[in-house]
Amino acid sequence: MADLISLPEIERAAERIAGVAVRTPLVPFRHDPAATPAGAPSLLVKAESLQPIGAFKIRGAYSAIASLTAEERARGVVTHSSGNHAQAVAYAARALGGKAVLVMPNTAPRVKVDACVALGAEVVYVEPTLRAREETAAKLAAAHGFAVIPPFDDARIIAGQGTVGLEIVQDRPDVDVVLVPVGGGGLVSGVAAAVKALRPEALVVGVEPELAADARDSMAAGHPVAWESERTGRTIADALRVQRVGELPFAHMRVHVDRVVTVTEDQIRLAMRRLVRETRLVAEPAGAVATAAFLYRRAELPEGRTYVSILSGGNVDPALFRDVLR
């Protein structure tokens, strides 16, 4: 079995990102008191949309690039991403004085591409498949000496994303259930590692769209199961269109994640709308899936009194957001 990250590794990542990543708040989701029975479970939303780049990805990217040598940073870094990790790498590279080259699918939302370019990064477009992204990033790294900063299948990245779980348990030691979006698995594996180390009795649930349910299938099969890009491309949650979870994240998921549930496209849209109205937080579709699970798939979740859903990002296309609110 692959070596799993430890709590000290996550704590060291927290030290590296201190003062760069925001320690985001747990925002109460305000239910209608008239429609909520006394003693009903409460939901807190971990607002990672408030990060400098609008998503949790800054944690892993900055921690990974900060751990490089000065010589490695000077040569530059390369990554592949549909948007949020790319933006995080661009932000971290600029902050640490290095060049960033970003391999992005040609279907990436314009709002995310524009943010990357504004941070001074070079963007290389490829077909929207994991293979095309990985192969292009590897070729660029070999040709130019760039350090590769993977989006999820990397211990440094997992440790950085695990700081989300560290903060959740520190701020709410009584948390019972943590709901985490699943794309490539970096966030859920890091969060689960931190939560289980600090509060073993808490349960961690991965959440993904029904139209991109490769993590659900992987957990059932006992090994990573890939979905074709044509299938994952159907979901509105562009940040969760990854075709399969990474090998190292999956090793963490098998040990630390209690179950994976899915939500529909309509439920994602409804959750985005309710997050704005009931918490004043903007969520992109991927950022809303964990809250959607609490609101619309409660019967499939473990029982508990205190739930936390991770709002992983808020970089939503303006036109899509207008349509959702309408």
Contact 321, 275 (CB under 8 A): no
∠ Cα 314 44 172 (to 5°):
120
CA atoms within 13 A on the CB side of 76: 17
Which positions ≥6 away from 198 have C-beta within 8 Å? 7, 165, 166, 169, 170
Nearest to 48 by CA among 72, 21, 20, 12: 21
Task: Indicate the length of the chain as a whole number.
Answer: 326
Active-site residues, by number, are 57, 312
Rounded to the nearest 10°, the torsion over CA 182, 183, 185, 189 is: -30
User: Residue 45: in which H helix or E strand, if any?
Assistant: strand 42-47
Contact 197, 7 (CB under 8 A): yes
Distance CA 326, CA 216 (A): 31
Distance CA 5, CA 43 (A): 28
User: Residue 107: in which H helix or E strand, if any?
Assistant: none
AA identity, residue 283: A
DSSP-derived letter for residue 268 is: H
Token representation of residue 77: 């870094």
Q: What is the distance, to the nearest Å, from the Cα of residue 13 to the centroid of all Cα atoms in its chain?
A: 16
Rounded to the nearest 10°, the torsion over CA 242, 245, 249, 254 is: 140
